[in-house]
Amino acid sequence: MKALKLEGMVKNQYASGWVPLHPKLIEFGLLHYVENVRASGYENLFPDAKKACDKKYSTWFQKPWANYLRRLGVKKGRKECFHTFRHNWNEGLRRADVREEIQDRLGGWKTPGSAGRNYGRQPMDRLLKYLEKLEYPGLDLNAFCHKI
pLDDT, tens digit (0-9, with 9 covering 90-100), for 77-120: 776 677 777 888 889 999 999 998 888 888 877 665 555 555 55
Provide the 3-class DSSP secondary structure of residue 53. Answer: coil
What is the C-alpha to C-alpha distance for residues 49 and 44, in angstroms, rounded to an integer? 9
Q: Which residues contact 82 (CB under 8 A, 6 or more apart)?
A: 58, 61, 62, 65, 66
Q: Decide the pairing of beta strands 3-6 and 17-20.
A: antiparallel
Count the neighbouring beta carbons within 10 Å of the beta carbon of residue 116: 7
Least confident of 24-28, 71-75, 94-98, 129-133: 71-75
Judge whether residue 20 has pLDDT over 60: yes
Q: Tell me, rounded to whole angstroms, the distance of Cα 102 from its chain centroid.
A: 15
Write out pLDDT tens, residues 30-84.
Answer: 889 999 999 999 988 888 888 888 888 888 888 887 888 788 777 677 766 777 7
Higher per-residue confidence, 129 vs 78: 129
Torsion, CA 24, CA 8, CA 60, CA 77, rounded to 10 = 60
Spatial distance between the Cα atoms of 48 and 65, rounded to a whole number of angstroms: 14
DSSP β-bridge partners for residue 134? none
Q: What is the band of 148 on the pLDDT scale with cuts at 50, 70, 90?
A: very low
